[in-house]
A = this chain, B = another copy of it.
């Protein structure tokens, strides 16, 4: 394990690739490597990119990589796709756009689908971020499909979160905009040549302004940018705005490494404990066959699931000091 950690810190691509795959597969042995890597983390700047399907996230990420590379920065990309457990290959086609960077040693791109049984998507993503961070990447771009609770949790691991929308997404977008307002640091209207861009802009502006009491006292107020990622239009301005937000973060939180800020640490630790408990408790019962016996009792109508749950949980918790 010590050797794995050393190789990661030395930037060995094959070791990093294998470790991230093992994280994604929920292999228990990764924990020791992660412990050893943790002291080497805290230097990378993490950018979350989220938005509904079809808004052009991959194209935008591809352009962002180019801009960062032009400035001499190394880049790690994690494409987080919780839908792919069902069909592992689906994601590859989608990442084809980023392939032009695949021969660049300063760029490392991986997909995460979290095929591990009980470990959460958020946990796997954070561990993978740690690995790319320890590997020495300057920027880590985390792209997530959709805007469910999982995705919201994932982008909470980012220093700067971009919410990507396109014009004319319909009324339902209101519900989403409200939900992600809190996690969005920068809003991007992509495909901004389309009809309805001004309407989307004013809708977003209204949503943000409604929360204006939160933006007093110099607090960051999410700007709204227009891009046409496919033509690299507006991407330079986006990168400048990300840099502004980075400086704002630094001013607000000082040089305290991001992952070591108290609110984040608490949330991340809670999630890690959660993943472990499930793995051990349910995993153990499944292996011994005890879980199956309880399921049979419910199926045959002898037991209700709420009582069954207590039968499993109480022996575990009853013995705590």
Q: Which residues of A contact B (CB under 8 A)?
A: 31, 34-35, 38-39, 52-58, 81-87, 89-91, 93-94, 118, 121, 145-152, 169-176, 178-183, 260-262, 265-266, 268-270, 272-274, 276-278, 280-282, 284, 291-292, 294-296, 298-299, 301, 304-310, 312-313, 315-317, 319-321
Q: List 17 A-B contacts (CB under 8 A).
A: A52-B53, A53-B172, A56-B170, A57-B172, A82-B148, A82-B149, A83-B176, A90-B174, A148-B151, A265-B305, A270-B278, A270-B291, A273-B278, A274-B282, A276-B309, A281-B320, A319-B320
Question: Do A309 and B269 touch across chains, with their CB atoms under 8 A apart?
Answer: yes
Decide: A313 near B277, CB < 8 A? Known: A55-B172, A146-B148, A147-B148.
yes
Minimal Cβ-Cβ distance residue in B for A165: B53
- Measured in the bound complex, the distance between the Cα atoms of B34 and A308 in whole Å is 12
Question: Which of B35, B57, B261, B277 meets A306, CB within 8 Å?
Answer: B35
What 7 pairs between A and B have smallest CB-CB spacing? A83-B179, A148-B148, A54-B170, A90-B178, A319-B319, A82-B149, A38-B304
With A55-B172, A86-B180 given, can you name 5 additional A-B contacts, CB distance below 8 Å?
Answer: A55-B170, A57-B172, A148-B149, A316-B316, A316-B320
Closest chain B residue to A266 by CB distance? B295
| A172-B94 contact given A182-B86, A321-B315, CB 8 Å threshold | yes
CB atoms of B316 and A277 under 8 A apart: yes
* B262 contacts A273, C-beta separation under 8 Å: no
The smallest beta-carbon distance between A284 and chain B, in angstroms, is 8
In angstroms, Cα B35 to Cα A34, docked, is 42
Q: Are the C-beta atoms of A181 and B86 separated by less than 8 Å? A: yes
Complex CA distance for A39 and B180, rounded to whole angstroms? 39
| Residue in chain B with minimal CB distance to A263 | B295
> How far is A132 from B164 in the complex, measured between Cα atoms in Å?
37
Chain B residues within 8 Å of A308, by CB: 269
Q: How far is the CB of A33 from chain B (nearest CB, A)?
A: 9
Residues of B within 8 A of A317 (CB): 277, 280-281, 316
- Nearest-Cβ distance from residue A261 to partner chain B, whole angstroms: 7
Question: Which B residues are in CB contact (< 8 Å) with A305?
Answer: 38, 265, 268-269, 272
If A179-B86, A280-B313 touch, whether A34 touches B148 (CB-CB below 8 Å) is no
Give the one of A152, A265, A301, A310 with max B CB within 10 A. Answer: A265
